[in-house]
Amino acid sequence: MADSFTLRSVTSTDYDTFFDFVQSVFHESGEQSARDAESWVFEPDRAIAIFDGDRQVGAAGALTRDLTVPGGPIPVACVTAVAVAPTHTRRGILTRMMRHQLTELHESRREPVAALWASESGIYGRYGYGSASQYARIDASTRAVRLRHPVPPAERHVETGPASDPKLRSEIAAVYARAYPTLVGHLDRRDRWWDYRLQDDDKNSLRVALHESDGRADGYAVYAVRRDWGNQGPKSEMTVHELIAESGAARDALWSYLFGVDLIATLNHPCPADAPLQHLVDHPGRMAIDLSPNLWVRIVDVDRALTARRYAAAVDVVLDVADPFCPWNEGRWRLVAGPAGARCERTDADADLALSSTELGAAYLGGTTLAVLADAGLVRELRPGALRAASVAFAEPRQPYCPEVF
């Protein structure tokens, strides 16, 4: 069992061993470019490793970042590099690492919420993580799908260049810094996170389209083209990795530019599940749209987490929370909240809703509603009317979305 293994903290001198282990578990090549990029954001003081004797058999880390939740950015522990050696699975190693991480966050009063991308969607619910958002991948043939109202080239005000261009990078960073606090699911990009986001193994293949209005950048797209040719002409594929616009005019101009790039046969775009692109084109039924899980969210401390966000409507509700993995969250909590703020504290009052920490995490970003979770039998209404009121309060008008894997 996991008790026979040794859990150790990681230091900066352990980076190569830690990196090689994680790369091996995920069947990655461990190329030098990837090693360098991961080192830019690696936080050794937040990483742990499990050893069987002298052999590393487990790894987990966390990144210090702010995540936008309803109401604005808050500190969130971004869990990453979680790996168990294939020779040591189902021996309690992952459970031990998850418990260590969450207990440390609770006892040190660090981030009240943790989040991760799940490589296997069936794993993290058992540790109290809930599926809090989805993302869509849109694939469109540029021959079959066009914009309904494209902006003429002379009116677009779009500048393009490689993502390595310092001026373009500075401009898009400024746009993102203004926009991300209003985009639920997006992360801050402090220190070297822009270097990490724009890392480009194929130099100059990653490009930027920058939109300007009244002398100021107000939107951008980051994209890449995979070149290909067939007997009947170009078959190149454009991937739009990220599109941020501060106005509808900037968004329309950027999409008009992207759909107008010559020699492109297919355009694909990872985006929020409710991305407006499907409403901007003439034949949305000709686009393939696949949905996949995005962020998984774990409530570390119920009171601190629920107090940290804002709510769409006033609500006064008592939640009976089940959380055997983090027993400090077990019990009844009264949430009195609204658009201006929130208060959450323990109570002996009768409960209005019963749910587990997993469902609370799923609803935290406002994309997965409590009403849907109740329909699935995962939330129980104990006072008539409480479910509707709480579901409306927790919900967001737009789907949360995280554009970057961490």
Percent of the chain with pLDDT over 70: 99
Choice among 5, 18, 21, 124 that is catalytic:
124
Fold (topology level) of 301-394? Nonspecific Lipid-transfer Protein; Chain A (3.30.1050)
Edge-to-edge, what's the strand order for the sheet holding 341-346? 341-346, 331-338, 315-322, 353-356, 380-381
pLDDT of residue 202: 73
The answer as to CATH 3.40.630.30 being correct for domain 2-111 is yes
Q: What is the pLDDT of residue 51?
A: 98
H-assigned helices in 189-340:
193-197, 248-260, 277-280, 302-308
For residue 340, pLDDT beyond 80: yes
Residue 3, pLDDT score:
66
Weakest mean pLDDT among 28-32, 67-71, 213-217: 28-32
Q: What is the pLDDT of residue 257?
A: 98
Give, as one character, the DSSP assignment of residue 368: S
pLDDT band at 266 (very low <50, low <70, confident <90, very high): very high
| Whether pLDDT at 231 is above 90 | no
The answer to whether the CB of 239 falls within 8 A of the CB of 372 is: no
273-295 average pLDDT score: 96
Mean pLDDT of 160-164: 96
Q: How confident is the model at residue 30 (pLDDT cuts 50, 70, 90)?
A: confident
Q: How confident is the model at residue 232 (pLDDT cuts 50, 70, 90)?
A: confident
Asked whether the predicted pLDDT for residue 204 surpasses 80, the reply is no
Confidence of residue 200 (pLDDT cuts 50, 70, 90): confident
More confident residue, 29 or 347: 347
Is 1 a residue whose pLDDT tops 60? no
Between vectors from CA 124 to CA 342 and to CA 361, what angle results, nearest 5°?
A: 15
Could you identify the residue written with the tokens 């209404």?
381
Q: How far apart are CA 309 and CA 295, in angstroms?
A: 17
21 among known catalytic residues:
no
pTM: 0.95
Mean pLDDT of 200-205: 74
Instruction: Return d(Cα 349, Cα 334) in angstroms, integer.
Output: 8
Cα–Cα separations (whole angstroms), residue 58 to 43, 45, 236, 333, 364: 17, 16, 40, 35, 29
Please give the helix or strand (H or E) that residue 8 lies within, else none.
strand 6-9
For the stretch 91-94, contacts whose Cβ atoms lie closer than 8 Å and that sit 24 or more positions apart, written own/partner, are 91/1, 91/2, 92/1, 92/2, 92/3, 93/2, 93/5, 93/50, 93/57, 93/58, 94/58, 94/123
| Cross-strand partners of 341 | 338
Query: Mean of the per-residue pLDDT values for the chain?
Result: 96
Q: Is residue 325 among the annotated active site residues?
A: no
Token reading at 106: 């609770």
Q: Give the pLDDT score at 4.
A: 85
Residue 12, pLDDT above cutoff 80: yes
CATH class of the region 136-291:
alpha beta
DSSP assignment of 298-313 equals EES-HHHHHHHS--SS
CB burial string 77-113: b at 16+ within 10 A, e below: bbbbbbbbbeebeebbbbebbbeebbeebbeeebbbb
Statement: residue 145 has pLDDT above 80: yes
| Identical fold, 2-111 and 136-291 | yes
What are the residue ranges spanned by the domains of the chain?
Answer: 2-111, 136-291, 301-394
Mean pLDDT of 93-109: 98
Select which of 42, 127, 311, 406 is catalytic: 406
